[in-house]
């Protein structure tokens, strides 16, 4: 079983301890470090190069958005999961733009948090429903100059629509009755053709292009 190395960045010791207590019970998740501020988190991330970071947004010194930006610059392969208290925080969109792959609230169930960490390791996004709805509203208008959707094959269009619905590679593979490896190839092709960085951007693109209905 592959171990996922996780780092915690949160200025509340009790929050960090609660996360550690649960996550250390998972056989495939290892807590490799903790930081109580953004500055400390950036330095520790450079040293440890963790697979996944659980990131608070509101901290003394540099906030979680800037910390995410600096972490991604220092360790591009590290996936950042924002874990904060409010879905309507004005840092939601900046955090995602800074490179956070997922955005969850601190009241997330332990099981859902573990699922999000495993999904992040697979480079798959998980968004709190309220955040997903706000993203739909914020980014729903098509933008001039975007790569045209007609570059995609019919099968890639199917995959893109399922990505926008929040489906994982395995769920898409099961839906389309193909291998997960085939879906990974389709996802890679979609991102390349549309000049997108990740699945979150692909989902936003699909919403802007009206490829899926807004809920």
Tens digits of residue pLDDT in 94-138: 888 888 988 888 888 889 899 999 999 988 888 776 666 666 555
3-state secondary structure of 32: strand
Choices 1.10.8.640, 1.10.10.10, 1.10.357.10, 2.40.30.10: CATH for 141-208: 1.10.10.10
Exposed / middle / buried, residue 193 (Cβ in 10 Å: 0-12, 13-18, 19+): middle
Tens digits of residue pLDDT in 45-57: 999 999 999 999 9
Classify domain 4-136 by CATH number.
3.40.50.2300
Helices (H) and strands (E) in the chain, counts: 10, 5
Closest Cα to residue 200, out of 110, 120, 87, 141?
120
* Contact criterion met (CB below 8 Å) for 162 and 180: no
For 143-172, the DSSP string reads -TTPPPGGGS-HHHHHHHHHHHTT--HHHH
Sign of CA dihedral 193, 198, 201, 207: positive
Report the alpha-carbon distance of residue 86 to residue 103 in Å, rounded. 10
The pTM of this model reads: 0.65
Q: How confident is the model at residue 84 (pLDDT cuts 50, 70, 90)?
A: confident
């Amino acid at each position: 079983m592959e171990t996922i190395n996780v780092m915690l960045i949160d200025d509340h010791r009790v929050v960090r301890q609660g996360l550690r207590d649960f996550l250390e019970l998972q056989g495939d998740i290892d807590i490799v470090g903790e930081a109580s501020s953004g500055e400390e988190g950036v330095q520790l991330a450079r040293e440890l190069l963790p697979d996944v970071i659980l990131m608070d947004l509101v901290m003394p010194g540099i906030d979680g958005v800037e910390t995410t930006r600096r972490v991604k610059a220092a360790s591009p392969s590290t996936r950042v999961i924002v874990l904060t208290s409010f879905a309507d925080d004005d840092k939601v969109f900046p955090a995602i733009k800074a490179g956070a792959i997922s955005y969850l609230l601190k009241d997330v169930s332990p099981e859902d948090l573990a699922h999000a960490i495993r999904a992040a390791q697979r480079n798959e996004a998980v968004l709190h429903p309220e955040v997903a709805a706000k993203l739909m509203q914020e980014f729903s208008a098509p933008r001039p100059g975007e790569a045209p959707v007609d570059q995609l094959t019919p099968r890639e269009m199917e995959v893109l629509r399922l990505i926008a619905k929040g489906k994982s590679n395995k769920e898409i593979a099961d839906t389309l009755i193909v291998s997960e490896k085939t879906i990974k190839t389709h996802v890679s092709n979609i991102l390349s053709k549309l000049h997108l960085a990740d699945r979150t951007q692909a989902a936003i693109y699909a919403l802007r292009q009206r490829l899926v209905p807004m809920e």
